[in-house]
Amino acid sequence: MLSNPNVRLGLQAAVAMAIALSLQHYYHFERSYWSIFTSMLLFSQTLGGSIKKSLERVIMTILGGSLATGLYFVLPATQWPIVSIVLCSVFFQVCFLQRFYLGSAFFASIFIVFFFALIQTWSLHLLFVRILETLLGAAITLGCSFLIFPITTENNLLSKIPLFIRDARALSEQILATLLSAETDAKIMHQKANACLLLLSELDQDYVHLGYELGRHHSKQEIKQTLKALGRFYHYLSGIASSLVHLQDRSLFLDLKAELQALFNASLQDLSDVNRALVAEKNILFSPEFSMRYRILQEKAAFLAQNTVYTQKAWLDYYAFCHFLKAMDDALKVLEK
């Protein structure tokens, strides 16, 4: 059960809440509910993510709270300016919540100041208490993240890379099937491409969190190189998938079936090499297999060009397809050396 990251995250949050409640029970802090809620809300899926959120929350509480406090003393003592700022801060807090937590934390601090100003009052003393309670909540979060079944960013990231490779393989197989079949299911390809993109964005986010975490086993440069290579594969595959929606004549692809299968097999082998290099903690070094297969495909196409049976639409589809293959070939040649 503890292998499930959500269960471990839930346990961390429950223990953090228990610690915060215990401190309130024994010491009766003035605004202890701030530290209680902070200790629960700052947990992330990984240790590095929790560290990042905690630092951002503390920094933005100081900056946002100080700015809002200064603004509170400058604005006229009427409800309309305060209500307007409360509504705007809620809007931007929610807008930034998923993609830009730093901005969300900043506007959350502004919201707290003016919400309190709306229902009762605000003062420099409350700002000071707010900062101290946030620091306490962040400290509880980090303590539990380190000590209660820690979920390391590196392990989380390394477990997702094989999943991305699995999805990239599925997309590659769908692309090949579409090239060689009269049936084009654009919806399936779109779904598979989106699944790859979602995982890739998660990998990129985990890589950012990795910088906040100590004691990494792998070199950060090795992981960065791996993610860069996987990003290239994704853009290559998604570009092809997008172009296949508009296929008009597959006759040329059908006659290049053997060469296309060999080319895709070479790209799938390169995907396996990416993960193998990371596990072995080595730099990625691709074989020239993809380049060789791409050259063979071009040679076979040049031979078929002598045959006038193929329509102009067939050649236009082929050249659009090769546009992405050439970009991929150029990218891999850099990593072959």
Sign of CA dihedral 125, 127, 128, 132: positive
| Across 127-141, 174-188, 281-295, least confident range | 174-188
Phi and psi torsions of 214, nearest 5°: -95, 165
> Which DSSP category does 306 fall into?
T
Integer Cα distance of 18 and 16 in angstroms: 5
Tell me what the pLDDT averaged over the chain comes to: 83
308 within 8 A of 251, measured Cβ to Cβ: no
Sign of CA dihedral 29, 31, 37, 43: negative
So what's the pLDDT on residue 184? Answer: 59
- Is the pLDDT reported for residue 112 higher than 80? yes
Question: Residue with structure tokens 């079944």?
Answer: 149
Taking only Cα atoms into account, the Rg of the chain, rounded to an integer number of angstroms, comes to 27
CA atoms within 13 A on the CB side of 104: 12
So what's the pLDDT on residue 87? Answer: 92
pLDDT in tens, 213-266: 877 778 888 888 888 888 888 888 888 887 777 778 888 888 888 998 998 888
So what's the pLDDT on residue 123? Answer: 87
- In 3D, which of 172, 154, 275 has the Cα closest to residue 213? 154
- In 3D, which of 298, 158, 145 has the Cα closest to residue 222? 158
| Across 55-64, 253-262, 267-276, 313-322, least confident range | 267-276
So what's the pLDDT on residue 70? Answer: 92
Per the model's pLDDT, the better-predicted residue between 336 and 256 turns out to be 256
What pTM value is reported for the model? 0.77
Q: Where are the domains of the chain?
A: 5-147, 153-336
End-to-end CA gap in the chain: 44
pLDDT in tens, 71-101: 888 887 677 888 988 999 999 998 988 778 8
Phi and psi torsions of 75, nearest 5°: -65, 155
- Residue 44 banded pLDDT, cuts 50, 70, 90: confident
pLDDT in tens, 68-78: 999 888 887 67
| The residue count for the chain | 337
Structure tokens at 218: 């792998």
Considering the domain 153-336, what is its CATH architecture? Up-down Bundle (1.20)
- Is the pLDDT reported for residue 102 higher than 70? yes
Sign of CA dihedral 142, 143, 149, 150: positive
So what's the pLDDT on residue 267? Answer: 85
- Residue 35 banded pLDDT, cuts 50, 70, 90: confident
- In 3D, which of 48, 41, 121, 50 has the Cα closest to residue 82? 121
pLDDT in tens, 52-63: 888 888 999 999
